Structures are given as structure tokens and as C-alpha cells.
Structure 1
Amino acid sequence: MRFNLLPTDTAFYDLFGRSADHLVEGARLLTDLLDPGADRAEVAERVREVEHRCDEVTHETVRRLNSTFITPFDREDIYRLAGALDDVMDDMEAAADYLHLYRIEGLPPGVPEQIDLLGKAAALTAAAMPRLRDMRELDEYWIEVNRLENLGDGIYRRSLATLFSGAYDALTVMRLRDVVEQLEAAIDSFERVANIVEQIAVKES
């Protein structure tokens, strides 16, 4: 573990925590979109608002990074982690937009499972961010997120198989594929966050 003789700016930990909390809210709103009675336009707008708040945290992180002399760990790693957290929210917002704009009624069986995985990955990520302060007990986090991503890969492949089974017309296949692929991208983005955390922990140990 590296030690600095000068005080470091610990606000970055709080900023990462705020970003992760936004991911939890975004994943919850995606679940709301599965409700047949949901006002998808309203829910999609709420997801967009969360995405804007996440952007603001990312911008605040970059501004602080540019004005801080001593950082808790490498500046490049702070930048990468902030950007990766923001990417997850971008992916979830895009998925919400597809679900709303395409006016999709019948979703493939795998979509609720994908969204459930996003909720679990978001909760794990939010719980992990405070542990960056001492870099302890983080291995369980990235191992579990990797496991969820592997599950997501299987669900994604099965969803594609269902889409191309002949049960849907060509236009519906195109629309549903966009949704499935965007949800898969969000799961992959959660894994990228976990990978960055792992790299930081190894570097700082």
C-alpha cells in the first residue's frame, strides 16, 4: 500500500459513490419499464434525468481532478473509473429509450433477466465504491460482477436465438435486437468498471 506524506483529496470516493447510486436508480427505473401499465415516456424521461445527474458528477470529478495536486490513487485511473461509471448509465439510458421509442409490447423472455442482472450489478458496484478507501474486500465484488456478466452472455445468446426463430417479423426482430444488444452493452460496461477497480486495487496493494 502506498502512503503519501501530504493530505489527499478524498472527495473522489464520494463522487464515485454518487455515480454508483445513480446506476442503482437507473437500473430500478429499467425494471419499471417492464410493467405493462407503465407510462414508458415518463419512465424514460426519468432515466434521462438520472443520466444527466450522472454526467454532472462525472464532470465534477474531472474538474476536481484537474485542480487537485495529490490524488488518492493514479490520476489516469480516477479518470478511467469516472468515465466507465458514466458509460454504464449511458448504456442504460439508451436501452430505456429503445423500449420507449419503439413502443415494444411483447419482449423476449431474456429481457427481464437482463434487467435483473443490471440491478444486481448496480447494487454490487454501489456497495464496492466506499471500499476503495482502503482497497479491502474488493475481490468478491469483481468476481461476482464477472459471474453476472457471464450469465448475461448466455441470456443474450438465447435471446438472439429466440428473435431469429421465426416467431417475429423482420421489423420486430430489428427493434428487439436493439434492446437486447443495448442491455448486453450495459452489463459489459459494469464488468469494465469492475475490471478497472481490480486494476486499481492490484496497483495500490
Structure 2
Amino acid sequence: MDLFFPRRVERPLYGQFGELAQLLVQAADAHSRLLGHGYRERARILPVLHENATRATELCGRIANRLAESLITPYEAEILYDFALTIADTVDSLEHTSELLVLTRVGTLPTPLLEAAKGIERAVELTLVASWSLNQVRDLDDYYTQVRKIRRQGDRLVRQALAELYRRGGASSELLAFRDVTAAVARTVELQERTARFADLLRVKDA
């Protein structure tokens, strides 16, 4: 078995990666629910995302401390920290999108944007599974490929959402708010691919 960590710290550290990925799953679920509702329900769900983001940041810090104490190479530690940090950044991005929706009080979102949110949920489930395989990175052979496909689909859906918004028309202030929300969703999609790329770097190094 290929291990990146000494046995005395392996289980707790891997558990922290899994816990971080689970926070991402919870945030993506709350994000999808928030996008599909109106202002009142969005305001009710938003604190969940605030809590997820706070916990993800704290957990990422604990992971950094454990990596600093581990016996792995600096290169591997850097990639694993980037993997964790990008997951936390993705949770922040989900919170950011949701907060924009509440603050701007925009109305119903285009269907392609809701579909993009569902794609985000699929990608974070893959990330959760990947977080359980960091001690056997050869099992991650198709993780990046699958997330890459979701990224391409997400990019298309974001473009479709923008086109629908401009066809819909309306006040310039509302269009700007919708555009900011769409850009925030696109940012989350991009971060998910970045997370998968860091895991793939570990796989390639171990090949």
C-alpha cells in the first residue's frame, strides 16, 4: 500500500480530509436549495452556508498543522494543502453566491443556472469519494476526468444562463446583479476542477 503519511497520524489526517469534503457536500446541497427559492427561504438557508464556510476554514487550518508535522515530502504536503485549501475556497464561493442572491434580492434564476448548481453537487460527491482515497492515489485515475466533464458542461450552462438573462431584459441594475450571480457560479465550477487537478498531480507523481 502506498502511504503518504506515517501510520501514527494516517487515520486522523485522512478523517480531516473527509470531514472537509463532507462540509463541501453540505454547502453544495444548501446552495442548490437556496438558488431554487425566493428571498425569504434564501435568507433562511444562508446561515447554513456561513457556518459551513467558517468550519471549512478552521478545518483547513488544522490540516495544515498536521501536514507540517507529517513525514511526507514538502512537494506532497504542498499539493495536499492546496487540495484542502481549494475545497475550503469552494465552500467560500458557494457562500458568496448565496449571499449575493440574498443581498440583491434577485428573482427567479434561469433554468441553466439551476442545472449548473446540480452539476456542482455531482462534482462535490466525486470530491468526497476522492478524499477517502488519498492514501491510495492510484484509485483516483478517473476523478479529474469526470470533474473536467462537469466543468465543461457547467461552462456551457453558464453561457446559456447569460444568454437567457440578456434575452429576458429588464432594468440594468437587475441584469448586473444576475450577471454577478452567474459569474459566482462559474467561479465555483472552476474551483472544483482545480481541486481535482491537485488530486491528479498526486496520482501522476505516484505513477
Q: TM-score if structure 1 supplies the norm length?
A: 0.91
Measured in 2, the distance between the counterparts of 1:3 and 1:125 equals: 19
For 1:162-173, list aligned pairs within 5 A: 162-165=164-167, 167-173=169-175
- 2:39 touches 2:102 (CA, 8 Å); kept in 1? no
1:143 corresponds to which of 142, 145, 150: 145
Q: Using a 3 Å threshold, how does the CA distance of structure 1 residues 39 and 5 change in structure 2: closer, same or farther?
A: closer
Measured in 2, the distance between the counterparts of 1:3 and 1:128 equals: 15
Q: Which moved more, 1:30-39 or 1:127-136?
A: 30-39
Aligned with 1:30: secondary structure? helix
Partner in structure 1 of residue 49 of structure 2: 47
- 2:148 touches 2:193 (CA, 8 Å); kept in 1? yes
- Aligned-pair identity (%): 25
- The Cα of 1:87 is off from its aligned counterpart by 1.0
Partner in structure 2 of residue 35 of structure 1: 37
Gaps of 5+ in 1: none
2:100 corresponds to which of 77, 98, 101: 98
Q: Which moved more, 1:146-155 or 1:130-139?
A: 130-139
Query: What value does the CA root-mean-square deviation take over the aligned residues?
Result: 2.2
- The reply on whether 1:180 has 2:165 as its aligned counterpart is no
Q: Using a 3 Å threshold, how does the CA distance of structure 1 residues 8 and 74 change in structure 2: closer, same or farther?
A: farther
- 1:156 touches 1:184 (CA, 8 Å); kept in 2? yes
For 1:102-113, list aligned pairs within 5 A: 102-113=104-115
Q: TM-score if structure 2 supplies the norm length?
A: 0.90
Q: Using a 3 Å threshold, how does the CA distance of structure 1 residues 146 and 166 change in structure 2: closer, same or farther?
A: same
- The Cα of 1:97 is off from its aligned counterpart by 0.4
Partner in structure 2 of residue 116 of structure 1: 118
Gaps of 5+ in 2: none
- The Cα of 1:37 is off from its aligned counterpart by 7.9
Measured in 2, the distance between the counterparts of 1:64 and 1:152 equals: 34
Measured in 1, the distance between the counterparts of 2:105 and 2:39 equals: 13
Aligned positions, number: 204
Partner in structure 2 of residue 9 of structure 1: 9
